[in-house]
Amino acid sequence: MLTSSLILHPAYTVGEVDPRIFGSFIEHLGRAVYHGVYEPGHPTADEEGFRKDVLDLVKKLGVPIVRYPGGNFVSGYRWEDGTGPKDKRPRRPELAWGVTETNEVGIDEFQSWAKKAGSSVMMAVNLGTRGPEEARNLVEYCNFKSGTYYADLRRQNGFEEPFGIKTWCLGNEMDGAWQMGAKTATEYGRIACEAAKLMKWTDPDIELVVCGSSGSGMCGDWEAEVLKHTYDHVDYISLHSYYGNPANDTASFLASSMDMDRFIRTVCAIADYVKHVKRSKKTMYLSFDEWNVWFHSHGAPFEKWSVAPHQLEDVYTFEDALVVGTLLMTLLKHCDRVKMACLAQLVNVIAPIMTENAEDGGRAWAQTIFYPFMHCSAYGRGTVLDARIDCPTYDAKNAKGVPYLESCAVYHEEEREIDLFAVNRSLEEDMAFTCDLTAFGGKELSVIEHLTMTNDDLKAVNTADNPTAVVPEANGDAQAEGGKIIATLGKHSWNVVRVKMN
Ligand code: AHR
């Protein structure tokens, strides 16, 4: 049995969690939009064609912001195609993913879906094949009240009130050779700066996310150069990172969050360097607007130029859920700088929610990774405590000194509640866990619940036929003893311990 301990103190905090850290992402890709959120022929479809079964699952996740419409897709997108009468909308070859885009759904529909889901929209503009002109037109279409060309076009299209989209991404992954209209850091920094000026002159209330690197391995010079051009005009810099276990080396896979942690620290350091060089008073915040496990579907075939084929449909295992749990805790532990994050993506495409097309049965279900996200979104909104952790470590192929315990504590002062999230990374041993809360003033402690998710089979998955193979249970043994919480964290397990202080 391993042992670990955590010491918490109310005076030692990381910061307040911005709820948008629990954001997600829907791209026009595969079956994310069509047959995912939108399927007029589905038995649960509402009057606008949105699947209510999917909306119910999205609401369970509690997603405050959803990035849209891409992703790689946005770098060739003409936003006007997805507005106005549906029978007049063009079908286009979509070059990012090699399919046909029907444009049945665009910003007109998506903003309405987002309202139903209880989310706001994080809108990306095309800085690949287009530029500042089309970007500022889109801001005018979405946010201007009336009396100008694009605002009146929106009203003609049936939307009297502006959409009021506050958060905008200045393109997507512009450093990637795979991106339509990819750019050097200088080229991108200049166009992003000019687009930012026009967009903010159109609506000064918006906030802007400039593209950082497409992966932790690519970061460095890109951020420094891009921020050199844009620092005064943008509010966030983006980070993207995906993790996988193609070599079936679970010990290394479970250490993925160490890479995410390093990536965040590095981008903070670069942003602070530019802040210093510019003698700026503004702190640049981070938008980790694409993150997840993604590798199961690499190389899966699909029919070129078809409409909404099965693409990027990773079927997530139990061990993937453990990794997602550690990634979520890493984001929370950087809540002083990471203000937004998007689990990429939300439905069908590398997603916590899966659906069948109506003609194939029409079922919807939660993948394994759904649950740690749901738990953190429900219980992770509060003050992250700067915990002192003591636990043994192991060396993996990709990282040395990996702590067996990954944990994060969130304090809800008003509710007098502390929620502890924890993953025991050991593949062999359970862990005796002690959390010292004596600094909270000798309050009487009680455990509200100790949720666990574990499985003997690391590769266990949820499917339409067996949607509950991997689900959490309220069966943990956490209990209060004096000013401490004592619990056993099973080998390779996800845990949520909710503590009340009376
Ligand atoms: O989320 C899938 C893809 O991953 C996105 O389109 C792109 O931005 C990233 O490379």
pLDDT tens, position by position, 169-200? 999 999 999 999 999 999 999 999 999 999 99
pLDDT at 158: 98
Q: Are strands 445-453 and 479-481 parallel, antiparallel or unpaired?
A: unpaired
% of the chain beyond a pLDDT of 90: 99
What is the CA(7)–ligand 1 centre distance, in A?
39
Distance of alpha carbon 59 from alpha carbon 295, whole angstroms: 26
Strand partners, 5: 390, 434
User: Predicted confidence band at 325 (pLDDT cuts at 50, 70, 90)?
Assistant: very high
Catalytic residue among 94, 109, 140, 290: 290
Reported as a single tens digit per residue, the pLDDT across 365-380 is 999 999 999 999 999 9
Reported as a single tens digit per residue, the pLDDT across 219-275 is 999 999 999 999 999 999 999 999 999 999 999 999 999 999 999 999 999 999 999
Distance of alpha carbon 240 from alpha carbon 225, whole angstroms: 18
Reported as a single tens digit per residue, the pLDDT across 112-142 is 999 999 999 999 999 999 999 999 999 999 9
DSSP 336: T
Flag whether pLDDT at 448 surpasses 90.
yes
pLDDT at 442: 72
Q: What domains, with CATH codes, occur in the chain?
A: 2-10+383-501 (2.60.40.1180), 18-379 (3.20.20.80)
Which pair of structure tokens corresponds to residue 149? 């060309």
What is the CA(270)–ligand 1 centre distance, in A?
23
Flag whether pLDDT at 155 surpasses 90.
yes
Overall average pLDDT of the 291-309 stretch: 97
Catalytic residue among 27, 173, 223, 313: 173
**pTM for the model:** 0.98
Flag whether pLDDT at 94 surpasses 80.
yes
Reported as a single tens digit per residue, the pLDDT across 6-52 is 999 999 999 999 999 999 999 999 999 999 999 999 999 999 999 99
Residue 44 burial by CB count (10 A; 0-12/13-18/19+): exposed, middle or buried?
Answer: middle
pLDDT at 355: 98
Whether 481 sits among the annotated catalytic residues: the reply is no
Nearest CA to 354 out of 323, 313, 324, 317 is that of 313
Reported as a single tens digit per residue, the pLDDT across 361-416 is 999 999 999 999 999 999 999 999 999 999 999 999 999 999 999 999 999 999 99
Whether 290 sits among the annotated catalytic residues: the reply is yes
Q: What is the largest CA-CA distance in the chain?
A: 70
Distance of alpha carbon 495 from alpha carbon 457, whole angstroms: 17
CA-to-CA dists, residue 417 to 61, 374, 376, 379, angstroms: 21, 18, 14, 10
Which ligand 1 atom sits closest to the C-alpha of 350?
A: 1
Axis crossing angle, helix 256-277 with helix 318-333, rounded to the nearest 10: 30
Flag whether pLDDT at 59 surpasses 80.
yes
Ligand 1 pocket mutation, candidates 173, 211, 289, 294, criterion most atoms within 8 A of CB = 173
User: Predicted confidence band at 502 (pLDDT cuts at 50, 70, 90)?
Assistant: confident
Ligand 1 pocket, residue 345 CB under 6 Å: yes
Measured in whole angstroms, the distance separating CA 132 from the mean position of its chain's CA atoms is 26
Distance of alpha carbon 193 from alpha carbon 233, whole angstroms: 7
pLDDT at 248: 98
Ligand 1 pocket, residue 313 CB under 6 Å: no
